[in-house]
């Protein structure tokens, strides 16, 4: 080849290569409609509590797969144009990923680009960082978000934070590689602001529990235009619906994307609800972050008015303020309550409404601000009093629901204002650490006998007449139960064995009486002690669906079965978990427990024989062995059901247990009675048939 020809060919190659390179560079930098960033914290949701979860659609072979694997499989099955939509998944925080191909690192964070089913490759690793950069460190979050925004430019951006949520005190995520550390919302705020450099996400969505709170929304107000989150425990996700919606409407606003997510997610959940496969605590809302400052200002105004009353020189004003605040908090919607461990969170709108009613302070402006800020809200019947935004306000001693007293110290940097953090600290230390009885009074039934309204009727009806002058402030009542058991000899003492707990007492507090009727939840004629959630205000709502749990032994292992009342006098078992009890006697469910997962009941359905466990002097003892009833719906779905029936003949002992709005419990006198037959009830003539309840135990 002549030198002239070689020069021409070389120039041609340079031109061709140059055009090819520039074209490729242009395509890579071309602005997409949306960049979707999923911060996927595997934690024990991947390899622990949800490791046996199987989505039959995305995992037809039924291979062992965790919850994060469901996310990746939903993305795998979603068709989209990756020129218009960038989907970036950042993985980390777990010591075992169940997905094998492609392999995800268990020692370092990685970023993946998702391509969908129309490409030769489903996901491609595009970044990884040293093992020293842990997923829940603010620097890691900031660096990955900054990198994704720069690398994948778009007209709009959405951030989905997937993992455990613990509200304003617990923060977001759990890093198994770094002592189960979470990232606080104040650190998250700092990380996102640094990464965004003055920009905003069009949507920030938490697929995590308890993150639909005022504190989180206020901290992230400069980081996003809209926020989607749940006030309650959250479960599952709906990335398939999100991707489909973005493909159909690529220029959708952040507000409408939030609504789209909630609708798609709710429809997915509704299919389970319609099949009665599970019951769920569903709350999700879209929050306009541009309007959260108005909520904060109105909330601070209310706090200032309350603080002025709490500092009043008039002692009765001070007492009334603390008393009515405690009552308002006790009556308001609370979250994570069915776990009986609590979160300290209550619905901001309902709480302010009770403050208005009880403290005679107008909260109309605050409630209007909340309605303007929460632009979309979907809830289940169980959470009908949820309005889309919760707030932290203590309702009992912190060691009973949040772990330790240091949580108030942890709350300070997460609070929406210094004014509020100081207020809540003063409120807690004054009411809970000092002597609450001197400040707000108490309920005492110790001198009130139980009377039998009609000894020969069946079922029996008992009532307690309350003298407000001697028994204290009845408005402080939060929960009322009639506890039925048997007195058993233990050495030189008699101990009380709890057999069943009846919440269906008359809770019309204005009549100052409590009534009880005798049918109880039994399995094979043997009573079970269901520990119920909720309070007297909730139980007045006909739409309220109570959830409770009772202890059993299955194949030698202690379990708690979770139940819900699906119709009068019938409960359905919707889940099971391994757990323990807190010092207050409340059930502690596993962190991130997904209530209503039918897969958890598979082993019990295979072998429905259980041993009922009864509580005696604070400890569990074996009761009778029984067999659960398995019923079937029209479509063949199996479920476990328990009905009320009359107690077996014999002598029983009953007492009313009342818990007040700040978690203090008290017992009435106990009453012994004989059930002679299903048609005749006679009170026992034995000595001590109406004596004080001496057993030192709480529910």
pLDDT band, residue 343 (cuts 50/70/90): confident
pLDDT tens digits, 462-479: 666 555 555 556 778 888
In angstroms, the CA 154 to CA 157 distance is 7
Element housing 391 (H / E): strand 390-392
pLDDT tens digits, 154-164: 999 999 999 99
Identify the pLDDT of residue 457: 56
Q: Phi first, then psi: what are they for 513, rounded to 5°? A: -145, 155
Identify the pLDDT of residue 126: 96
Q: Is-contact 407 398, C-beta < 8 A?
A: yes
pLDDT band, residue 323 (cuts 50/70/90): very high
For residues 220, 225, 228, 230, the Cα torsion angle rounded to the nearest 10 degrees is: 40
pLDDT tens digits, 354-393: 999 999 999 999 999 999 999 999 998 778 889 999 999 9
Closest residue by Cα to residue 108 from 162, 202, 164, 177: 177
Question: How many residues comprise the chain?
Answer: 699
The CATH code of the domain at 28-280 is 3.40.50.11970
Q: What is the 3-state secondary structure (H, E, C) of 451-484?
A: EECCCCCCCCEEEEECCHHHHECHHHEEEEEEEE
Q: Is-contact 484 460, C-beta < 8 A?
A: no
Domain boundaries, the chain: 28-280, 292-440, 450-519+647-699, 520-645
2 vs 605: which has the higher pLDDT: 605
In angstroms, the CA 527 to CA 482 distance is 14
9's CB contacts (< 8 A; 6+ apart) are: 1
In angstroms, the CA 229 to CA 217 distance is 9
pLDDT band, residue 678 (cuts 50/70/90): very low
Residue found by looking up tokens 């778009």 in the block: 154
Mean pLDDT of 443-457: 61
450-519+647-699 to CATH, choices 2.60.40, 3.20.20, 1.10.3470, 1.10.10: 2.60.40
Q: Is-contact 36 82, C-beta < 8 A?
A: no
Q: What is the 3-state secondary structure (H, E, C) of 567-587?
A: ECCEEEEEEEECCEECCCCCE
């Amino acid at each position: 080849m002549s030198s002239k020809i070689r020069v021409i060919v070389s120039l041609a190659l340079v031109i061709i290569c140059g055009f090819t390179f520039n074209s490729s560079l242009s395509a890579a930098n071309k602005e997409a409609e949306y960049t979707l960033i999923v911060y996927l914290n595997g934690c024990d949701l991947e390899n622990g509590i949800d490791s046996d979860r199987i989505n039959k659609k995305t995992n037809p072979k039924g291979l062992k797969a965790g919850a994060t694997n469901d996310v990746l499989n939903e993305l795998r099955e979603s068709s989209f144009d990756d020129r218009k939509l960038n989907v970036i998944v950042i993985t980390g925080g777990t010591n075992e990923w169940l997905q094998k191909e492609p392999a995800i690192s268990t020692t370092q964070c990685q970023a993946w680009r998702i391509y969908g089913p129309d490409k030769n490759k489903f996901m491609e690793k595009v970044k990884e960082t040293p093992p020293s950069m842990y997923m829940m460190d603010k620097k890691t979050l900031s660096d990955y978000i900054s990198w994704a925004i720069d690398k994948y430019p778009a007209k709009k951006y959405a951030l989905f934070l997937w993992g455990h949520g613990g509200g304003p005190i617990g923060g977001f995520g759990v890093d198994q590689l770094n002592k189960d550390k979470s990232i606080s919302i104040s650190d998250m705020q700092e990380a996102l602001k640094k990464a965004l450099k003055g920009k905003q996400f069009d949507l920030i969505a938490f697929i995590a529990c308890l993150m639909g709170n005022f504190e989180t929304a206020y901290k992230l107000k400069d980081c996003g235009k809209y926020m989607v989150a749940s006030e309650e425990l959250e479960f599952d996700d709906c990335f398939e619906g999100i991707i489909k919606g973005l493909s159909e409407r690529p220029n959708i606003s952040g507000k409408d994307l939030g609504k789209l997510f909630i609708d798609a997610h709710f429809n997915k959940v509704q299919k389970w609800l319609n099949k009665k496969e599970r019951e769920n605590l569903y709350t999700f809302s879209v929050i306009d972050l541009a309007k959260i400052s108005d909520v904060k200002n109105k909330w601070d105004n209310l706090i200032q008015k309350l603080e002025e009353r709490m500092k009043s020189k008039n002692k009765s004003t001070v007492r009334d303020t603390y008393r009515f605040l405690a009552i308002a908090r006790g009556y308001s919607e609370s979250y994570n309550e069915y776990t009986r461990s609590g979160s300290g969170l209550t619905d901001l709108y309902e709480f302010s409404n009770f403050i208005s009613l009880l403290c005679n302070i107008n909260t109309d402006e605050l409630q209007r601000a909340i309605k303007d800020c929460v632009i979309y809200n979907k809830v289940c019947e169980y959470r009908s009093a949820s309005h889309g935004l919760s707030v932290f306000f203590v309702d009992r001693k912190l060691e009973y629901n949040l772990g330790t007293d240091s949580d108030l110290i942890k709350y300070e940097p997460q609070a929406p204002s210094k004014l509020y953090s100081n207020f809540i600290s003063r409120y807690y230390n004054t009411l809970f650490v000092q002597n609450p009885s001197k400040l707000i009074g108490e309920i005492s039934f110790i001198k009130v006998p139980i009377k039998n309204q009609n000894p020969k009727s069946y079922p029996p009806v008992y009532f307690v007449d309350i003298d407000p002058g001697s028994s204290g402030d009845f408005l402080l009542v939060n929960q009322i139960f009639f506890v039925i058991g048997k007195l058993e000899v233990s050495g030189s003492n008699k101990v009380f064995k709890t057999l069943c707990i009846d919440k269906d007492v008359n809770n019309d507090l204005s009549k100052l009486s409590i009534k009880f009727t005798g049918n109880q939840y039994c399995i094979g004629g043997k009573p079970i002690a269901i520990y119920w959630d909720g309070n007297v205000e909730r139980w007045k709502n006909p739409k309220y669906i109570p959830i409770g749990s009772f202890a059993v032994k299955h194949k030698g292992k202690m379990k708690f079965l979770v139940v819900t009342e699906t119709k009068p006098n019938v409960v359905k078992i919707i889940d099971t978990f391994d757990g323990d009890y807190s010092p207050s006697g409340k059930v502690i469910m596993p962190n991130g427990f997904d209530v209503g997962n039918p897969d958890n009941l598979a082993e019990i359905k295979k072998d429905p024989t259980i041993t009922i466990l009864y509580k005696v002097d604070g400890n569990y003892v074996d009761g009778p062995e029984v067999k659960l009833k398995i019923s079937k719906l029209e479509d063949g779905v199996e479920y476990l059901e328990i009905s009320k029936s009359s107690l077996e003949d014999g002598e029983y002992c009953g007492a009313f247990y009342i818990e007040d709005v700040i978690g203090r419990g008290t017992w009435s006198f106990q009453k012994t009675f004989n059930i002679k037959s299903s048609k005749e009830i006679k009170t026992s003539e034995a000595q001590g048939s109406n004596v004080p309840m001496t057993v030192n135990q709480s529910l």
